[in-house]
């Protein structure tokens, strides 16, 4: 599985380390909250709200350089809107990978 990285953040920052750290701090703050709300809505089987949660999370997936994972998130979001959760295991794996990565930053 692909691993998160800071390549996109570094390319956006133009070498501004304070900017990079600010983005990282925002992701570290928002990601766990968004992940928690995702699980609440998924467990409640509210797939429309879960799709909205995936939509928010996929932006962080993209920022962390996870191109294949982003594609999975796009497909999962579309599936959820149809009540289909078949990509859930793959999406949860992505969330776990990001969680582990952010804990090490």
Instruction: Indicate the domain borders of the chain.
Output: 7-104
d(CA 45, CA 20): 36
pLDDT of residue 1: 73
Per-10-residue mean pLDDT of the chain, 105 residues long, equals 93 95 97 98 98 97 98 98 97 98 95
The pTM score is 0.94
Neighbouring CB atoms inside 10 A of 32's CB total: 15
Which of 95, 97, 72 shows the shortest CA–CA distance to 85? 72
């Amino acid at each position: 599985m692909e691993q998160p990285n800071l390549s996109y953040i570094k390319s956006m920052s133009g070498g501004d380390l304070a900017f990079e750290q600010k983005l990282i701090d925002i992701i570290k703050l928002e990601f766990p909250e968004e992940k928690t709300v995702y699980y609440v809505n998924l467990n409640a089987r509210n797939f429309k709200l879960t799709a909205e949660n995936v939509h928010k999370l996929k932006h962080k997936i993209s920022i962390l350089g996870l191109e294949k994972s982003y594609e999975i998130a796009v497909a999962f979001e579309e599936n959820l809107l149809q009540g289909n959760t078949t990509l859930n295991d793959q999406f949860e794996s992505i969330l776990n990978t990001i969680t582990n990565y952010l804990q090490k930053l």
